[in-house]
């Protein structure tokens, strides 16, 4: 049986939607994608009983009230209903040890749901010089390097201490709480990946491996194949 992967959706005031790259990457790795629209937090236990893994997708900014801060001028558009649903979904999944792959905004949701916090806007809150973390190039372009922590799952999959990634964000994880640990950083110090080695699968990346899987990027393919493989374990 192929594992069923619940993927969270982007949202605005009138629509919920998802880039096709997420669906294609899950299918390519052997999973069956199912979209999880925001809302209906009471139904989360039922949703988790019908899915084998959760993919927290990218999208808009996270409301800073979730980590005890007031909004700053650099904060972008938020969707409070999506935040509430995804943080609740993430916390339920963590307690149930459901495999989680968290991408871009998703790594921030994972960190906040686990008790950490984040930068609302790295360019006004972090000391320069910073890299260009919101590239002006195709989503499949490998923009900047990432330094991978020795002994991490990412190092195992990459077979290297350095990889190249794409980049489309201005928010970022600032601190993580155990059992999450930082597993990769950009050369400017921005956190690029986190993982929980005690979970069946819990990985968050700041870049977009679903877009890189389309060009057969080896690390991105391994991230998705390992995620789907973990969802098959019962």
Return the active site residues. 104, 208, 210
Quote the CA–CA distance of 155 and 130 in Å, as a whole number. Answer: 24
* E strand or H helix at 182: strand 181-185
Q: Is 66 helix (H, G, I), strand (E, B) or coil?
A: helix
Q: Exposure of 160 by Cβ count < 10 A (0-12 exposed, 13-18 middle, 19+ buried)?
A: exposed
**Number of C-beta neighbours around residue 19 at 10 A:** 17
Place of tokens 């020795």: 150
């Amino acid at each position: 049986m192929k594992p069923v992967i619940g993927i969270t959706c982007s949202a605005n005031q009138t629509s919920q939607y998802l880039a096709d790259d997420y669906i294609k990457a899950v299918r390519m790795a052997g999973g069956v994608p199912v979209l999880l629209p925001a809302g209906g937090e009471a139904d989360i236990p039922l949703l988790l009983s019908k899915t084998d893994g959760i993919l927290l997708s990218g999208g808009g900014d996270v409301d800073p009230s979730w980590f005890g801060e007031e909004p700053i001028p650099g904060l972008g558009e938020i969707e409070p209903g999506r935040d509430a649903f995804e943080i609740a979904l993430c916390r339920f999944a963590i307690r149930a040890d459901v495999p989680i792959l968290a991408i871009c905004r998703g790594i921030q949701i994972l960190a906040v749901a686990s008790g950490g916090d984040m930068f609302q806007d790295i360019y006004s809150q972090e000391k320069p010089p910073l890299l260009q973390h919101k590239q002006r190039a195709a989503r499949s372009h490998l923009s900047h390097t990432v330094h991978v922590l020795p002994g991490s799952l990412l190092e195992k999959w990459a077979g290297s201490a350095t990889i190249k990634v794409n980049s489309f964000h201005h928010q970022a994880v600032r601190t993580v709480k155990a059992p999450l640990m930082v597993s990769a950083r950009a050369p400017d110090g921005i956190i690029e990946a986190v993982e929980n080695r005690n979970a069946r699968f819990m990985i968050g990346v700041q870049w977009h491996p679903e877009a890189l899987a389309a060009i057969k990027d080896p690390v991105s393919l391994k991230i998705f194949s390992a995620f789907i493989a973990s969802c098959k374990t019962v």
